[in-house]
Amino acid sequence: MAPPKHKTGGRVTPKGTKPGRLPTADSPPSIRGTTRAGEVAASSRYTPPVPLSAKESPRWVPTLMIAFLVLGALIIMARYLLNDQVGNWLVFAGLGFILAGLYTATKWH
């Protein structure tokens, strides 16, 4: 039987700590997660939560997105329905507006 393979990964908690036990003030700085005078060490894993106001898009973002998409579709349809002698630049302009609408859609939260 083959020996078990070494699993990748490693220690999540600093060396010298045990599960369920918080580091104390007399612990070494590497275990406490601070370097000097209350500074947080670079290895700190805490990430503060994002406020709800930062997650919400302004009201004009979805409006602008829909306007770009509809305008692009109308320009492309107008090229084929109204005038066939203009050339392909109307198709490219319509596709540009549609791409602008898709880009705006990525900014909507």
The pLDDT tens digits of the residues spanning 49-78 come to 888 777 888 899 999 999 999 999 999 999
Each domain of the chain, given as residue ranges in start order, spans 52-106
- Looking up tokens 């939260």 gives 109
| Cβ-contact 76, 91 below 8 angstroms | yes
Amino acid at 65: M
SS3 of 90, please? helix
- Write out the DSSP string of 58-70: PTHHHHHHHHHHH
Which has more pLDDT, 21 or 68? 68
pLDDT at 60: 93
Residue 64 exposed, middle or buried by CB count within 10 Å (0-12, 13-18, 19+): middle
Average pLDDT for residues 38-55, to the nearest whole number? 72
Q: What is the pTM of this model?
A: 0.53
Please state the φ and ψ torsions of residue 8, each to the nearest 5 degrees. Answer: -75, 165
